[in-house]
Amino acid sequence: MATALITGASNGIGLELAKVHASKGGNLVLVARNKSKLDELKTELENKYKITVYTIGKDLSAEDSALEVYNETKKQNIQIDYLINNAGFGDFGMFTDTDWNKELQMINLNITTLTQFTKLYLQDMVKRNSGKIMNVSSTAAFQSGPTMAVYYATKAYVLSFSEAISNEVSDKGVTITTLCPGATESGFQSAAAMEESALVKGKKLPTSKEVAEYGYAAMMKGKTVAIHGMLNYLMANSVRFAPRAWVVKLTRKIQDKAK
């Protein structure tokens, strides 16, 4: 069974993706800042599924952190068959009021590190003529997002970038899947300080487990873009037929604090 490297694996969708892959009998390399959480998950998965889990504690918003992880897997002689770029975070608020340092970390993590990971491991996969990559984007990728301007822009990058390289390697035995969840019960809203947003307040959201199972199945099928949930799918595709100004205003209304 293939070995999967999963970033942001200490909680939320990343943690559930690790459980899904382990349940199939696959080995894991788990990366996140909180190594103690990863080590707890390592013990749980190794005991339950009799697999091997290697953990790397790393702040992936730091420059060249992806290269450091890549070099460590090479040093440990671990071949990465599936790369799942799941790590990412958002922030909620008017751009004039939000913190630049947090936004810079967001850009580094959501864009730069994801891109560097993809380049490093994709080159190896193309040489072997096999491999799978899943980059986790969002339904935020399909329109601009007032009150989360930088986050929406980073996720648009992930979708555009991933679709392009999926085309480039379509004849190389490698597939690139972009997973686009909508709002999910994952701790993301708390980290982004958006619990009061009309998008999530009082709503029953899909669980991280549901999104992870859907995304993993889409990756295994080699699907290029995977949008979780029929309503999310319809909304993501309908924005193409509406004036952009309308879409931006509607997104602002949805994201503003619930009255």
Confidence (pLDDT) at 254:
73
- Compare 28 and 198 and report the one with higher pLDDT: 28
DSSP secondary structure letters along 197-232: BTTTTT--PPBHHHHHHHHHHHHHHT-SEEE-SHHH
| Assessment of whether the complete model's pTM goes beyond 0.75 | yes
Catalytic residue chosen out of the listed positions 151, 152, 214, 216: 151
> Confidence class of residue 229 from pLDDT cuts 50, 70 and 90?
confident
Q: Would the pLDDT of 167 be above 90?
A: yes
Confidence (pLDDT) at 252:
66
Number of domains in the chain: 1
Q: Would the pLDDT of 128 be above 70?
A: yes
pLDDT per residue as tens digits for the range 170-220 = 999 999 999 999 988 865 545 444 455 455 445 678 999 999 999 999 999
Interval 131-148 mean pLDDT: 94
**CATH code for position 232:** 3.40.50.720
Three-point CA angle 22, 26, 32, nearest 5°:
65
Tell me how far apart the alpha carbons of residues 236 and 201 are, in angstroms, rounded to a whole number.
21
What domain range is 186 assigned to?
4-255
155 is catalytic: yes
DSSP secondary structure letters along 58-110: --TTSTTHHHHHHHHHHHTT---SEEEE-------S-TTTS-HHHHHHHHIII
209 is catalytic: no
Catalytic residue chosen out of the listed positions 132, 155, 209, 223: 155
Query: Which residue(s) pair with 225 in the sheet?
Result: 178
Tokens standing for 246? 């309308």
Confidence (pLDDT) at 45:
98
Confidence (pLDDT) at 242:
56
